[in-house]
A and B are shown apart, each in its own frame.
Chain A
Amino acid sequence: MTDALYSLSISELAPLLARREVSPVEVTEQLLERIERLDGALHAYLTVDGAGARAQAKEAEARLGQGEATPLTGIPMALKDVLITRGLRTTCASRILENFVPPFDATVCAKLRQAGAVFLGKVNMDEFAMGSSTENSAFGPTHNPWNRECIPGGSSGGSAAAVAADFCIASLGSDTGGSIRQPACHCGVVGLKPTYGRVSRYGLVAYASSLDQIGPLTKEVRDAALLLNCIAGHDHRDSTSLDAAVPDYLEGLGRGIKGLKIGVPREYFGAGLNPEVDAAVQNALKTLEGLGAELVEVSLPHSEYAVAVYYLVAVAEASSNLARYDGVKYGFRGEGRNLLEMYGATRTQGFGAEVRRRIMLGTYALSAGYYDAYYRKGSQVRALIRGDFETAFEKCEAVATPVSPTPAFRLGEKVSDPLTMYLSDIFTISANLAGIPGISVPCGFSASGLPIGLQLMGPPLGEATLLQAAYAFEQATDWHRRKPQL
């Protein structure tokens, strides 16, 4: 039982660890060796913390021996490099934070440590989570484990690739406009974006504060539920975190979906949807129906404005959130003969092109004379989009849609065309604007062998239903069992 421990999910590994049939040290060593040997070709990791991981694994082993383990004790994980880790370099894939070693832990990291998880290291992403392909990383892109020529999705591309390539047992990412669900879809793994406020944002480096949310990327649905059990809940250090009880997300997993009303929004199946994606998702809908779900047609009429609204609200918040990187206190500092020159050099050299573009867009959207036309208007349309979902959820308990309009595109294909790139998030952005949860589960492959995902979105705090439905779908299919050949 010592072969390929790296390929296991949490749900498969935890019982072996609990029965002490395998040791967390052994699993950790296997993964470190595998990363060392194979990540050169994918570049999922930005920082591998071998010493830290080994120490945590030893602690976990002791804890398992004392019978004080949790289901996450000894589980080696990869963390998106936007999550603050005490004593472990956190770069946000940006030059400006290249050598930043935080003096504190994000709440989710502290919770995982407390549960006994092992941190293998920090994984790649689009700089400051701005992007859909991980090509905006200042340290080079991550490759899709299913096809090295393709993007892994983004911004949590490193997380998704590391899970798909068995470079970790599970991972955490963050999702501002689809950054967990879209890469999960492109890498053929499970990705859950919880309700806004369900998971504390404390220690998540902010991109767009009113949209950002941390969530798991995992090999199977049950693992996502396990991780959510650990990281969800109110945090007094995050004023926007919800003070709502955390249910046991494992509880509903076996219940099936007989009679569950699933809405199919017609706006998500129009022109521009890749036929292979369309076919796979239609197939998935049939599977859900076959499992007893009742499909109902719903309408989300303001969906067409989602991308535009997102690129006003998100960039406005980003322009302010990223003002702190000024070369004064930490991180990269450019040279200048005076303060203004130093600011200019720091931010021009420290940030990549996409980050600079979004800061400029956001600065413009908030400027005197433009605020009402852009930021305020954007906030108003956002309320309409939220209203669409409220109306839809009067008729159903979840809606099913594609995650991304196409399978993973090729590296470099959209780099010079930001507008097309922005449109790849068209199906995921609405959930962030509305603050509702969404999950991506594997539902097929393209002819060229690239994964396709199904998205389920639910009402606020509807994670349990989403996990229940996704689990039922997963049990009825075997897409999640396929592994890429590295």
Chain B
Amino acid sequence: MEYEAIIGLEIHAELLTASKIFCGCATTFGAPPNTQVCEVCLGMPGSLPVLNQKAVEFALKMALATDCRINEESVFARKNYFYPDLPKGYQISQYELPLAEHGHLDIRAGGETRRIGITRIHLEEDAGKLIHSEHRPVSFVDFNRTGVPLIEIVSEPDMRTPEEAVEYFKGLRNILLYLGICDGNMEEGSLRCDANISLRPMGQSEFGTKAELKNMNSFRFVKQALEYEIKRQRALLEAGKEIVQETRLWDTAQGQTASMRGKEETHDYRYFPDPDLVPVRIEAAWLEDLKAGLPELPTAKGQRFQEQYGLPAYDAEVLTGDKALADYFEACVKEFPQPKQVSNWIMVELLRELKTQDAGIAACPVTPGALGKLLALVEKGTISGSLAKKVFEEMWATGKDPEAIVKEKGLEQISDAGALEAAAQEILAAHPKEVADYQAGKTKVMGFFVGQLMRKTKGQANPQLANEIFQRLLE
């Protein structure tokens, strides 16, 4: 039987506010344990939370960017459960009335555009981190992360394939980065993804029993975990067995998911409105200001790249799929105003190098200015296209200016007709057979002569000039 996967994602994004959501403590990642804490985020008796307006502002930006309906009044609620990393014994979150609802994000997957619904976006506080001793059966708690603001973005169960899920997740991450409200770092946990997935026979309208997947801290793992889960659930269904509703953890090393807790162990969180906080009221004027101040978002930027730079849709999509890459492109075009050539270089040479190095554009040692200069050198005929690739590699390795590399290594193209002609004559004299072939009409050997000249000049001969010289000498 054919099955269809139903996938929904819950994305948690840590907001880049300078201070925590309910107190003034700093949010810097990687500080020594328990150095960014106070009585409020430690949940000391008598302490009270006060909402950080910046966190609301950041969350609202995300809500606006994903076309959510923003609730004029939203309410913080307590999610009650015991765990050592949760100092108050409850997490302040939102439940019945979240900050925003009913948004969507358009994604491209499998050659078509699909609209993925966003159920809600709400604000909440992050928990601390447990550190387990390697030597003794003891655990420690670092409360630095406790109270770092999070937004949770809950999707509708609108995705049908792991690819769609990854595209949606990438799309959200991209918007978060465009808005500058989250650093998107999945390894450090600033961006986290849980997935709900179930299968149903193709054509059936009601959903099957779902599993919740956790602990997938890269796009690759999200894809692998969903693929694994589809296989696992399909095998069970085909064997006539039932899917158990449970939470499963992705195990990267094993490449599989494993049950963490079943339905009967599910917490009853006993949500109720937090009496320590007043409802959040969003003034229309504030919302208007935020809307007006939103940066250009990926879709709009892609449109502009097509119109302003005459790029094909595919180039525009790739370049704007990462804000840093789009910025890089634009900076490069400023230096060298031939957008399509810049785009080609970025999409072929630069992205390949980044992929080989497994690095993001932020780690690229070649500045957009330097790349622009390199392309200008090719344009002027100072170096050939093939040499430019070598210069680029050198720029990547040393971070040096292209002009300096060309000069230092003597890579300038030789366009001195006299010098090239002398060398050409030597070559012709050394290869009488090929000369005879040419004269017998096998003009293809021209390539051989030019190649020999290139070898002789270490690739620096101006290829066009070389062609002309040989033609003249052979006639």
Q: A residues bordering B, Cβ < 8 Å?
A: 83-84, 90, 92, 97, 100, 102-104, 106, 201-206, 208-210, 236-240, 316-317, 319-320, 322-324, 326, 328-330, 339, 343, 363, 366-368, 371, 375
Write the nearest CB–CB distance from A233 to chain B, whole angstroms.
15
Write the nearest CB–CB distance from B79 to chain A, whole angstroms.
10
Complex Cα distance, B48 from A240, in Å, reads 10
Contact call A324/B89, Cβ cutoff below 8 A: yes
Contacts of B141 in A (CB 8 A): 328-329
Contacts of A328 in B (CB 8 A): 84, 87, 141
Q: Is B288 an interface residue (CB 8 A)?
A: no
Complex Cα distance, B277 from A112, in Å, reads 25
A323: contacting residue among B90, B268, B275, CB under 8 A: B90
Write the nearest CB–CB distance from A327 to chain B, whole angstroms.
9
Contacts of A363 in B (CB 8 A): 270
Contacts of A368 in B (CB 8 A): 268, 270
Contact call B45/A100, Cβ cutoff below 8 A: yes
Contact call B80/A366, Cβ cutoff below 8 A: yes
Complex Cα distance, B42 from A202, in Å, reads 15
Contact call A324/B276, Cβ cutoff below 8 A: no
Contact residues of A: prevailing secondary structure: loop
A-B contact pairs, 12 of them (CB 8 A): A84-B45, A92-B45, A104-B46, A239-B278, A240-B275, A317-B275, A320-B90, A320-B272, A323-B80, A324-B87, A329-B42, A368-B270
Closest Cβ neighbor of B266 among chain A residues? A368
Contacts of A209 in B (CB 8 A): 275-276
Contacts of B400 in A (CB 8 A): none
Q: Is B463 an interface residue (CB 8 A)?
A: no
Closest Cβ neighbor of A316 among chain B residues? B272
Contact call B51/A324, Cβ cutoff below 8 A: no
Given A239-B278, A320-B80, A366-B80, decide whether A326 and B89 contact each other with a Cβ distance below 8 A. Answer: yes
Contact call B51/A239, Cβ cutoff below 8 A: yes
Contact call B82/A326, Cβ cutoff below 8 A: yes
Write the nearest CB–CB distance from B441 to chain A, whole angstroms.
89
Closest Cβ neighbor of B277 among chain A residues? A239
Contacts of A324 in B (CB 8 A): 43, 45, 87-89
Contacts of B50 in A (CB 8 A): 236-239
Q: Is B323 an interface residue (CB 8 A)?
A: no
Contacts of B39 in A (CB 8 A): 102-104
Contact call B45/A90, Cβ cutoff below 8 A: yes
Which 10 pairs of residues, A with B, have the shortest CB-CB distance? A323-B89, A366-B270, A210-B275, A209-B275, A84-B46, A203-B46, A205-B45, A324-B43, A205-B46, A368-B268
Contact call A320/B89, Cβ cutoff below 8 A: yes
Closest Cβ neighbor of A83 among chain B residues? B46
Write the nearest CB–CB distance from A93 to chain B, whole angstroms.
13
Given A239-B50, A240-B275, A323-B82, decide whether A329 and B43 contact each other with a Cβ distance below 8 A. Answer: yes
Contact call B44/A102, Cβ cutoff below 8 A: yes
Q: Is B12 an interface residue (CB 8 A)?
A: no
Complex Cα distance, B89 from A317, in Å, reads 12
Contacts of A104 in B (CB 8 A): 39, 44, 46-47
Closest Cβ neighbor of A331 among chain B residues? B45
Write the nearest CB–CB distance from B39 to chain A, whole angstroms.
5
Within 8 A of A (CB), among B269-327: 270-272, 275-278
Complex Cα distance, B46 from A322, in Å, reads 11
Contacts of B87 in A (CB 8 A): 324, 328-329
Complex Cα distance, B270 from A323, in Å, reads 12
Complex Cα distance, B45 from A90, in Å, reads 10
Contacts of B20 in A (CB 8 A): none
Contact residues of B: prevailing secondary structure: loop
Number of residues from B at the complex interface, CB < 8 A:
28
Given A240-B276, A324-B87, A324-B89, decide whether A201 and B48 contact each other with a Cβ distance below 8 A. Answer: yes
Within 8 A of A (CB), among B32-73: 39, 42-51
Closest Cβ neighbor of A241 among chain B residues? B48
Closest Cβ neighbor of A340 among chain B residues? B82
Q: Is B248 an interface residue (CB 8 A)?
A: no
Closest Cβ neighbor of B42 among chain A residues? A329
Write the nearest CB–CB distance from A224 to chain B, whole angstroms.
23
Contacts of B275 in A (CB 8 A): 208-210, 240, 317
Complex Cα distance, B273 from A316, in Å, reads 11
Contacts of A205 in B (CB 8 A): 45-46
Given A92-B45, A203-B46, decide whether A339 and B272 contact each other with a Cβ distance below 8 A. Answer: no
Write the nearest CB–CB distance from A11 to chain B, whole angstroms.
30
Contact call A239/B82, Cβ cutoff below 8 A: no
Given A209-B276, A240-B276, decide whether A339 and B84 contact each other with a Cβ distance below 8 A. Answer: yes
Q: Is B78 an interface residue (CB 8 A)?
A: yes
Complex Cα distance, B88 from A209, in Å, reads 14
Write the nearest CB–CB distance from A30 to chain B, whole angstroms.
31
Contacts of A375 in B (CB 8 A): 272
Given A209-B275, A240-B275, decide whether A343 and B82 contact each other with a Cβ distance below 8 A. Answer: yes
Contacts of B268 in A (CB 8 A): 367-368
Contacts of A90 in B (CB 8 A): 45-46
Write the nearest CB–CB distance from A474 to chain B, whole angstroms.
33
Contact call B46/A106, Cβ cutoff below 8 A: yes
Complex Cα distance, B86 from A320, in Å, reads 13
Write the nearest CB–CB distance from B429 to chain A, whole angstroms.
89
Complex Cα distance, B49 from A339, in Å, reads 27
Write the nearest CB–CB distance from B443 to chain A, whole angstroms.
84
Complex Cα distance, B44 from A204, in Å, reads 11
Contact call A239/B80, Cβ cutoff below 8 A: no
Complex Cα distance, B48 from A255, in Å, reads 39
Closest Cβ neighbor of A197 among chain B residues? B278
Complex Cα distance, B46 from A83, in Å, reads 8
Contact call B278/A323, Cβ cutoff below 8 A: no
Complex Cα distance, B76 from A209, in Å, reads 14
Write the nearest CB–CB distance from A432 to chain B, whole angstroms.
12
Closest Cβ neighbor of A84 among chain B residues? B46
A102: contacting residue among B45, B49, B80, B270, CB under 8 A: B45
Contact call A202/B45, Cβ cutoff below 8 A: no
Contact call B48/A239, Cβ cutoff below 8 A: yes
Complex Cα distance, B56 from A179, in Å, reads 37
Complex Cα distance, B39 from A232, in Å, reads 23
Contacts of B45 in A (CB 8 A): 84, 90, 92, 97, 100, 102, 205-206, 324
Contacts of B80 in A (CB 8 A): 319-320, 323, 366
Complex Cα distance, B39 from A381, in Å, reads 35
- What 0/1 pattern do residues 245 to 268 of B give for CB contact below 8 A with A? 000000000000000000000001
Write the nearest CB–CB distance from B317 to chain A, whole angstroms.
45
